[in-house]
């Protein structure tokens, strides 16, 4: 028997030992399962689980992250479901817990992500590769050189119409801090902003994420008209918001932003 408490304090029991039929409802955690060396054990993913691409083509899809199909999940007979507090709907997760073991993550900081990797390793019988991955992530983040000059005020946008940014209690906020930046927005979660408010926040850099809204160069030009002295950049949102195995390579990407042209 395996017993692991998830990040919401819910105890998950696997009576038969390591999971053999896994459904992931979280793209970051789906990619992690692949990185840990699992394949046949993963029987279901969401339509947003785009990494690895071959799984998007070959694995059963159970719907989206917030509108997954409980009946499809039931037919796949999972002995473990991986969920996330923010990405999945609370009511649907609670309903799944009545029928299946569900381990739910709650990721706000790097340490939360590393603890999640450790727990998934235990649940899936992949403790060794999980431990190795955690060590690589720690080393790479420790090796990331932060700027010596004063921290730049950065505003990170995730949506348009309405404009939305990341607040100070999010995982992306923690990644900005690891880069040596100061988040210009000190509100919680993902507040909506007017163009006037964006100007008033006076960011020195404006980062436009590739997800969930796919910002393009046309949006850079639109914002440059109101922020003529601000450096505006398109960034790969997966490195800032995916908290699984992609964390290993995130510091190298951050270094390219910090020290690149």
User: What average pLDDT does the structure give for the chain?
Assistant: 96
Domain ranges of the chain: 2-141, 153-259
Length of the chain: 261
Asked if omega into 52 is within 30° of 0 (cis), the reply is: yes
Q: Is the dihedral of CA 69, 161, 204, 199 positive or negative?
A: negative
| SS3 of residue 114 by DSSP | helix
Does the pLDDT value for residue 120 go beyond 80?
yes
Mean pLDDT of 63-70: 95
Q: What is the pLDDT of residue 3?
A: 96
Token look-up 């910090």 returns 258
Domain topology for 153-259:
Rossmann fold (3.40.50)
Cα separation of 18 and 23, whole Å?
14
Give the pLDDT of residue 193.
98
> Would the CATH topology of 2-141 be identical to that of 153-259?
yes
Output phi, psi for 5, to 5 deg: -85, 130
Q: For residue 148, is pLDDT > 90?
A: no
**How confident is the model over 172-177, as a mean pLDDT?**
98
What span, in angstroms and rounded, lies between the C-alpha atoms of 195 and 111?
34
Instruction: Give the model's pLDDT for residue 261.
Output: 64
What is the tens place of the pLDDT at every residue in 204-213?
999 999 999 9
The least confident of 33-37, 143-147, 179-183 is 143-147
Q: Is 42 helix (H, G, I), strand (E, B) or coil?
A: strand
- Whether residue 245 is predicted with pLDDT greater than 80 in this model: the reply is yes
The answer to whether 104 and 10 have CB atoms below 8 angstroms apart is yes
Classify residue 151 as exposed, middle or buried by CB count within 10 Å of its CB (0-12, 13-18, 19+).
Answer: middle
CATH 3.40.50.1980 fits 2-141, yes or no: yes
pTM: 0.96
Instruction: Name the β-bridge partners of 104.
Output: 83
């Amino acid at each position: 028997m395996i017993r692991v408490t998830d990040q919401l304090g819910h105890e998950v029991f696997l009576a038969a030992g390591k999971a053999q039929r896994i459904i992931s409802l979280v793209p970051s955690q789906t990619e992690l399962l692949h990185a840990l060396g699992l394949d046949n054990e993963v029987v279901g993913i969401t339509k947003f689980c785009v990494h690895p691409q071959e799984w998007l083509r070959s694995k059963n899809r159970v719907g989206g992250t917030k509108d997954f199909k409980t009946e499809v999940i039931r037919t796949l007979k999972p002995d473990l479901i991986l969920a996330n507090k923010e990405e999945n709907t609370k009511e649907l997760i609670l309903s799944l817990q009545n029928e299946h073991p569900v381990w739910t993550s709650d990721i706000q900081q790097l340490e939360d992500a590393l603890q999640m990797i450790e727990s998934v390793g235990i649940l899936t019988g992949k403790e060794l590769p999980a431990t190795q991955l955690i060590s690589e992530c720690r080393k790479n983040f420790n090796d990331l050189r932060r700027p010596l000059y004063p921290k730049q005020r950065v505003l990170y946008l995730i949506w348009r119409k309405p404009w939305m940014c990341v607040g100070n209690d999010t995982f992306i906020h923690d990644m900005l801090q690891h880069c040596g930046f100061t988040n210009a927005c000190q509100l919680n979660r993902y507040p909506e902003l007017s163009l006037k408010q964006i100007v008033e926040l006076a960011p020195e850099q404006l980062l436009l994420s590739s997800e969930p809204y796919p910002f393009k160069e046309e949006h850079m030009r639109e914002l440059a008209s109101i922020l003529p002295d601000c450096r505006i950049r398109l960034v790969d949102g997966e490195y800032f918001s995916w908290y699984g195995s992609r964390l290993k390579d995130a510091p190298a990407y951050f270094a390219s932003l910090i020290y690149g042209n």
